[in-house]
Amino acid sequence: MLQCKNLTCVREERVLFNNLNFTLAPGEILQVEGPNGVGKTSLFRLLVGLSTPYAGEVHWQQQNIMLDRDTYYQNMLYLGHKSGVKPELTALENLHYFHHLFNPKVEFDAWEILTLVGLAGYENVATAQLSAGQQRRVALARMWFSDCPLWILDEPFTAIDKNGVQVIEKLLIKHAEKGGMVILTTHQDLLLPPQLYKKLTLQKPAAGEQYV
């Protein structure tokens, strides 16, 4: 269970959001929405512990994530704006690296996963030579062999075609049905049935509270 307690994010003395509270329980999908610049990516960086909150805490299984990073990171998959894929390595080598670093206990067939994400035939091409959407798919392929219950996905559908989006949405539902948790941002409307996911709308703070 992921809990956000009174989270406040401040960037350059400007308050992005304050006193944000929410809980993500097993089996839930949460879509964070809001206009550009409202702090979605900043929120996600707080959730994964890449930046420290101005105030408030993030808890994973009742434990502050800053105090026990290793346990948290064993249970969390984060896909950010930057894909984390090495452009000079091939898709296969990138997957191999992610597998050994993040989910060494999972057994999987890399070829099968590359086929699932539509990269069959491109496995030995340097990732730099793939299209933007294909590079994104290499990063997203990690979701297929991840055994982490919590997925934090920042704009996962960027540069992905309609067909690909559907495949990923199905995967998200499957993950939630198995008791996993997903929190994601996207500017497109999710095509999932509304009862399957929750929405969290970030809003700019009131006029008097915009600066610290």
Partner 1 sequence: MFDAFLQIVRKELLGAFRQQSDILNPIWFFVIVVTLFPLGIGTDPALLARIAPGIIWVAALLAALLSFERLFKDDFIDGSLEQMMLAPQPLSWLVSAKVFAHWLLTGLPILLVSPLLAVFLSLQENTFWALFLTLLIGTPILSLLGSIGVALTIGLRKGGVLLSLIMLPLSIPILIFSTMAIDAATFGQSYIGLLALLGAMLVGAITLAPFAIAASLRVSVS
Where along the sequence are the contacts to partner 1 (CB under 8 A)? 45, 48-52, 70, 73-74, 76, 78, 80-89, 93, 96-98, 100-102, 104, 126
Using only C-alpha atoms, the chain has a radius of gyration, in whole angstroms, of: 18
Nearer to partner 1, 142 or 175 (CB): 142
Nearer to partner 1, 27 or 133 (CB): 133
CB 74, min distance to partner 1, A: 4
Nearer to partner 1, 85 or 172 (CB): 85
CB 87, min distance to partner 1, A: 6
CB 113, min distance to partner 1, A: 18
CB 79, min distance to partner 1, A: 9
Nearer to partner 1, 2 or 190 (CB): 2
Residue 50, judged by CB atoms within 10 A of its CB (0-12, 13-18, 19+), counts as exposed
Read out DSSP for 10-67? EETTEEEEEEEEEEE-TT-EEEEE--TTSSHHHHHHHHHTSS--SEEEEEETTEETTT
